[in-house]
Amino acid sequence: MGKTLVHKILEEHLVEGRLVAGEEIAIRIDQTLTQDATGTTAFLLFESMGVERVRTDLSVSYVDHNMAGFGPENHNDHLYLQTVAARSGVYHSRPGNGICHQVHLERFGKPGATLLGSDSHTPTGGGIGMLAIGAGGLDVAVAMGGGPFHLQCPKVVGVKLTGKLGDWVAAKDIILRLLGELTTKGNVGWAVEYFGTGARGLTVPQRATITNMGAELGVTTSVFASDASTQRFLTAQNRPQDYRPLAGDKDAVYDRVIEIDLSALEPMAACPSSPDCIQTVRAVAGRKVGQVIVGSCTNSSFADLMMVARVLKGRRIDPMVEFAVAPGSRGVLNMLAANGTLADMIAAGARILESACGPCIGQGLSPADGTVTLRTFNRNFAGRTGTKGDQVYLVSPETAVASVLSGVVTDPRDLSQKMGITYPKVVMPRQFQVDDSMIEPPPPPEQARAVQVLRGSTIVVPEAPPALPATLVGQVLLKCGDKITTDHIMPAGTFLKLRSNVPEYAKVVFNCFNEPGKPTFAQRSLELKNRGVAGIIVAGESYGQGSSREHAALCPMYLGVRVVIARSIERIHRANLINFCIVPIRFADPADYDRLQAGDEFVIDDLLDAIRSCDEVRITKRDTSFAFTGKLELSARDRDILLSAGLLNYTRSQAHG
């Protein structure tokens, strides 16, 4: 029986368990990445572990999320990350050098290596044949300290790509098509592996677009083979020595196979307000557009922006459309400036943003009220832009540039049919402009020990979780519906600068559900905590979608939340809950969700005994009017972590055991 590429890489790195779908395994991690929105907490936790220097082959700290300095918080974090990286043996990518996923793909990614990143879009590395997985910052900190990463051995869906993309049809349309079929929920415990003649015909940047946005599927990771296309990319990046041919066996057995004929694919769009709300661009064409942004870690490669620039050359954008472009890396920006295409975009009316995440995470360029905005990003969750009631469509750069010229949502194929614009086919360069001067390598150990780590006043060491009680008395603080994202739990945008100060950031937990004139979620939580009553969150399906930010567990824990009861919980968030000693419980009978209301008080007797040895727990309303059963779907290690009051305490006990 042939092996998938996913299982081949897992097998090379396996340190615990068996490669049987659904069973817990542990793998060795070769590389890690962090970014500034999650990295400060990750490094504070790493320091708390007492490990002097990272034990991975390579770890990189990126600054790419919070770039605008309104107040000292962001720069305080940047200085801390720069100095703690030097002290800890970590490479540091300075502000302005680019978005972590694109820079890592260009400068550090290696076929066949494992990469763990404190960002949900870490699977971008799958475009170069890595097994790249997003995780919470504490899991990444453990990996930096030399610990293995524990996960459920995934089932593998093979996506067979045949045919060839037509003019004006892009890699973005492939992943949007797949999101339309698999949706954003129900894919926990799966990985995606692309193969077939169509896959071999895609460039590394095209593959990276697909694996990047595979995060929206909720799968563990996505991966392409490492082949001639990979070799050309690495050679062009002056890294031919990092190439290694890798692929699944020809007779590999997948748990499911989906076939997509690229020749039959047409431009697609994710409509407001979910990445899986998919329609063809033709179906939504004609809607007036007020803003278009090209960029983010999904679609800001050299090839993407060259295509946009060539379409815009000698033309002007619609006067009623705001247009912005964010190159994914400083290398891409330098190349566009050197060959004149940056000037072409500026002449057409584009605003050039720095090489950073920017508006993708709500850091500026919020659209006007009632404005349709087209973005080449990966998420369009409601309110993520910073504008209430926003109307965000996720599209390819081809659709974006067609729409910015016409002022309405436009199928880019109409540029050829109605405007006489020939599709500009961009050939990947044989040599990228390489300038690593803004990537600081760590000093040798003897010099690193002398580095003073700068800790600004806004950086606060996170509070450790308290131990769980034998009998838990709790109150439902919030009952929410399906597809609650980590943006709902911990808002980004202007609040993200508070991430290094949990007591301050915790004040806006579930801010979107707060009502004017009424106590906030945080206030109600702390009032319960002071009375010795645990907070309970009740949710529907796919709770914890989206970003890997562990603050969505860390801040509720600080407020006294000890239990989440849901119909289903997404992989990264579920791990973060356990890491911070919040018990994830699934309704044994999904209909019981309808019986619970905010304000209800419940008792869980013998909670510790249940965590220790049971797969179910009985939850009784405090007035004994009814009871229901919850599922405790915990591995042996999950149980030990919860009984140890969180992953940090567990890791310390293992180190001293």
**Tens-place pLDDT, residues 442-500:** 999 999 999 999 999 999 998 899 999 999 999 999 999 999 999 999 998 889 899 99
Q: What is the pLDDT of residue 68?
A: 85
Chain centroid, CA 222 distance in Å: 13
CB 474, CB 563: distance < 8 Å: yes
CB neighbour list of residue 241: distance below 8 Å, 6 or more residues apart: none
Once rounded to an integer, what is the mean pLDDT over residues 127-140? 96
| Secondary structure (3-state) at 336 | helix
Q: Distance between CA atoms of 577 and 330, rounded to whole angstroms? A: 36
Once rounded to an integer, what is the mean pLDDT over residues 630-651? 95
Chain centroid, CA 512 distance in Å: 21
Q: Identify the band that residue 412 occupies on the pLDDT scale cut at 50, 70 and 90.
A: very high
CB 194, CB 252: distance < 8 Å: no
Q: What is the pLDDT of residue 463?
A: 87
Residue type, 441: P
**Is 472-656 a domain of CATH 1.10.3720.10?**
no
Asked if domains 5-264 and 271-417 share a fold, the reply is yes
Q: Identify the band that residue 656 occupies on the pLDDT scale cut at 50, 70 and 90.
A: low
Chain centroid, CA 75 distance in Å: 23
CB neighbour list of residue 335: distance below 8 Å, 6 or more residues apart: 302, 429, 432, 433
Tokens describing residue 210: 């697909």
CATH T-level assignment (fold) for domain 271-417: Aconitase; domain 3 (3.30.499)
How many other CB atoms are found less than 10 A from the CB of residue 94?
Answer: 18
Q: What is the pLDDT of residue 358?
A: 87
Q: Identify the band that residue 124 occupies on the pLDDT scale cut at 50, 70 and 90.
A: very high
Ramachandran quadrant class, 512 (left: phi over 0; alpha: psi -120 to 50; beta: rest): alpha
Phi, psi of 177 (to 5 degrees): -60, -40
Q: Identify the band that residue 419 occupies on the pLDDT scale cut at 50, 70 and 90.
A: confident
Once rounded to an integer, what is the mean pLDDT over residues 332-336? 96
Tokens describing residue 232: 């050309």
CB 88, CB 43: distance < 8 Å: yes
Average pLDDT, the chain: 95
CB 448, CB 87: distance < 8 Å: yes
Q: What is the pLDDT of residue 654?
A: 76
Q: What is the pLDDT of residue 544?
A: 96
Q: Strand pairing partners for 473?
A: 603
How many other CB atoms are found less than 10 A from the CB of residue 33?
Answer: 29
Strands (E), 48-184: 58-62, 91-93, 114-117, 131-134, 149-152, 155-162
CB 652, CB 644: distance < 8 Å: no
Phi, psi of 632 (to 5 degrees): -105, 95
Sign (positive or negative) of CA dihedral 206, 207, 210, 212: negative
How many other CB atoms are found less than 10 A from the CB of residue 148?
Answer: 18
Q: Alpha helix locations (H) across 319-362?
A: 330-339, 341-348
DSSP 533: -
Q: What is the pLDDT of residue 424?
A: 94
Chain centroid, CA 426 distance in Å: 28
Task: Tell me which of 261 and 654 has the higher pLDDT.
Answer: 261
Select 5-264's CATH number: 3.40.1010.10, 3.30.499.10, 3.30.420.40, 3.65.10.10: 3.30.499.10
Once rounded to an integer, what is the mean pLDDT over residues 171-181? 98
> % helix / strand / coil in the chain, to the nearest 5?
35, 20, 45
Domain spans in the chain, listed from the N-terminal domain onward: 5-264, 271-417, 472-656
Once rounded to an integer, what is the mean pLDDT over residues 539-543? 97
Q: Distance between CA atoms of 332 and 348, rounded to whole angstroms? A: 19
CB 237, CB 151: distance < 8 Å: no
For residue 547, is pLDDT > 90?
no
Once rounded to an integer, what is the mean pLDDT over residues 4-29? 97
Tokens describing residue 458: 């806004």
Q: What is the pLDDT of residue 282?
A: 97
For residue 657, is pLDDT > 60?
no
